[in-house]
C-alpha cells in the first residue's frame, strides 16, 4: 500500500516557466486523496524562497515545509557539525546560506552546486585548494544534465563535482538526490516508512534508481522533462513503472492506495 508521495519538480511538474500539461489537475487529485506529499528537487540555481514564488506564479500552492532542497540539507549539516562553508554555487543561492552562526577556526567545507557561469578555472581551483587542505567535500547534487530553458539538455553540477573529485582524489558527499538521507528525511517529516512511499521523477538515475536504492517502495519514471527514450533499459534498480506524465503517475498511484 502507498501512504505518501515524493515528487520531483523540474521536468515533472513544470518545464521552464510553464506547468507540464495536466500537472495542476494531477496534483489536485493527489491532494484530494489525502496522501501526504513532499517535493524533492536538485535545483540549485534558485533559493527556496524564489522557487516557491515561481511555483505559485504557475498556479502550484506548495507549503515551504513540503519542499526539500539540497541547500536546506547543506545548511542543516553546516550548523550541526560547526563547519565553515566555502561556496561554489550560483549567486542567487547564496541567500539560503545567509545568517549562519559565526565560527572562528571551524573546519572548512567546500559546497558545490550549479554555479553556471561561475564555474571558472579560478573558482574551481580555489575549491580544489580548499579540498587539498583537508576541507570537507559536499555536493548539493551530482546530476549529469538538466533540461535548460531553451528546451535542450545542459551540463549539470555532476561534471564539475567529478572534476574536483579527480583532481583532489576525494569523493564528494552528495546531499540531494540520490542520497539516502535526503529521501529518509522527507519520509521522516511525513511520518511514513520509506517502503510505503512512491517517487515520481524524470531522472532515471537520481529520482528513480536513487529512490529505490534508498528504500523507497515504488519509483515511477515519467516520459517528460529530461527523459530519453530507452533510458530505463540501463537503470539499476529499474523503475517500478514508466508512464507518460505526472497525470498517468497519479492514476497509477491512486489505484494502489
Q: Which domain holds residue 139?
A: 70-174
Distance CA 43, CA 114 (A): 8
Q: What is the CA radius of gyration of the chain?
A: 18
Q: Are 194 and 159 within one domain?
A: no
Q: Which residues contact 138 (CB under 8 A, 6 or more apart)?
A: 74, 77, 109, 110, 111, 112, 172, 173, 175
pLDDT value of residue 151: 84
Per residue in 211-255, pLDDT (tens digit) is 999 999 999 999 999 999 999 998 999 999 999 999 999 999 999
Domain boundary among 145, 174, 203: 174
Q: Can you tell me which residue has the cell 507549503?
A: 63
Q: Are 208 and 128 within one domain?
A: no
The CATH number assigned to the domain holding 200 equals 3.40.50.1000
Total Cβ atoms within 10 A of residue 221: 26
Q: Are 97 and 125 within one domain?
A: yes
Q: Are 78 and 32 within one domain?
A: no
Q: Are 167 and 196 within one domain?
A: no
pLDDT value of residue 190: 96
Domain boundary among 174, 207, 231: 174
What is the β-pairing status of strands 153-155 and 173-174? Answer: unpaired
Stretches in the chain below the pLDDT threshold 70:
103-105
Please give the grid coordinates belonging to residue 179.
542520497
Predicted model pTM: 0.93
Q: Positive or negative, the Cα torsion across 109, 112, 117, 119? A: positive
Q: Are 11 and 84 within one domain?
A: no
Whether 244 is in a domain gets the answer yes
pLDDT value of residue 165: 98
Amino acid at each position: 500500500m502507498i501512504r505518501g508521495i515524493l515528487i520531483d519538480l523540474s521536468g515533472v511538474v513544470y518545464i521552464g516557466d510553464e506547468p507540464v500539461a495536466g500537472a495542476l489537475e494531477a496534483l489536485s487529485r493527489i491532494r484530494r486523496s489525502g496522501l501526504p506529499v513532499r517535493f524533492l528537487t536538485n535545483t540549485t540555481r534558485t533559493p527556496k524562497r524564489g522557487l516557491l514564488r515561481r511555483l505559485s506564479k504557475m498556479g502550484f500552492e506548495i507549503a515551504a515545509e513540503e519542499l526539500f532542497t539540497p541547500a536546506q540539507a547543506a545548511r542543516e549539516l553546516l550548523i550541526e557539525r560547526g563547519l565553515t562553508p566555502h561556496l561554489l554555487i550560483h549567486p542567487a543561492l547564496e541567500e539560503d546560506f545567509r545568517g549562519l552562526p559565526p565560527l572562528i577556526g571551524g573546519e572548512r567545507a567546500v559546497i558545490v552546486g550549479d554555479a553556471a557561469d561561475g564555474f571558472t578555472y579560478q573558482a574551481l581551483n580555489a575549491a580544489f585548494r580548499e579540498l587539498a587542505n583537508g576541507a570537507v567535500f559536499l555536493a548539493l547534487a551530482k546530476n549529469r544534465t538538466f533540461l535548460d530553458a531553451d528546451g535542450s539538455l545542459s551540463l549539470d553540477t555532476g561534471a564539475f563535482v567529478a572534476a574536483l573529485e579527480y583532481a583532489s582524489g576525494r569523493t564528494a558527499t552528495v546531499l540531494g538526490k540520490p542520497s539516502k538521507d535526503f529521501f529518509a528525511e522527507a519520509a521522516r517529516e511525513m511520518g511514513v516508512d520509506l517502503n510505503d512511499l512512491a517517487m515520481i521523477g524524470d531522472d532515471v538515475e537520481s529520482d528513480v534508481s536513487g529512490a529505490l536504492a534508498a528504500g523507497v517502495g515504488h519509483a515511477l519514471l515519467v516520459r517528460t522533462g529530461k527523459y530519453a527514450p530507452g533510458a530505463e533499459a540501463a537503470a539499476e534498480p529499474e523503475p517500478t513503472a514508466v508512464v507518460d506524465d505526472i497525470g498517468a503517475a497519479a492514476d497509477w498511484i491512486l489505484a494502489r492506495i
